[in-house]
Amino acid sequence: MGDLSPHFSRWEFDCSHCGALVGPDRELMSVLENLRNQLGRELVIVSGYRCPEYNARVGGIRSSQHLHGRAADIPRGLFRAHQARDAGAHGCGMRGGWVIHVDVTPGRRFFTFAE
């Protein structure tokens, strides 16, 4: 049981660099719960909130939704982009071939990307 939602806890979204936390956004939590329920399996959060220093260190873009608690990275191979879209994500993409990014960027229609 999580303290943010039925399956997610705050500590999963803390900045890996400094332990700070912004968010996570309620809509992001809804997307992650929807995706988890759709898949019927656990989703490990690799990266949630990132402080500006850590975001720069890992090569995140300056407008990263991780800086606002509106994005999460999950290990690849657990779901496809259309499943993230169906769960309510605004964006989904692969980063470095090892993680899937989902976000809830305000005002954006669904998009996909690969780095």
Query: Residues 50, 60: contact at Cβ < 8 Å?
Result: yes
Of 93, 70, 73, 69, the closest CA to residue 81 belongs to: 93
Residue with tokens 């500590």: 11
The ranges assigned to domains in the chain are 10-114
- pTM of this structure: 0.91
Contacts of 97 (CB under 8 A, 6+ apart): 76
Question: Can you read off the two tokens belonging to residue 10?
Answer: 């705050």
The dotted CATH code for 10-114 is 3.30.1380.10
In a structure prediction context, what are the per-residue pLDDT tens digits for the chain, which is 115 residues long?
A: 788 999 999 999 999 999 999 999 999 999 999 999 999 999 999 999 999 999 999 999 999 999 999 999 999 889 888 999 999 999 998 877 778 999 999 988 888 877 6
Query: Do 70 and 55 touch, CB atoms closer than 8 A?
Result: no
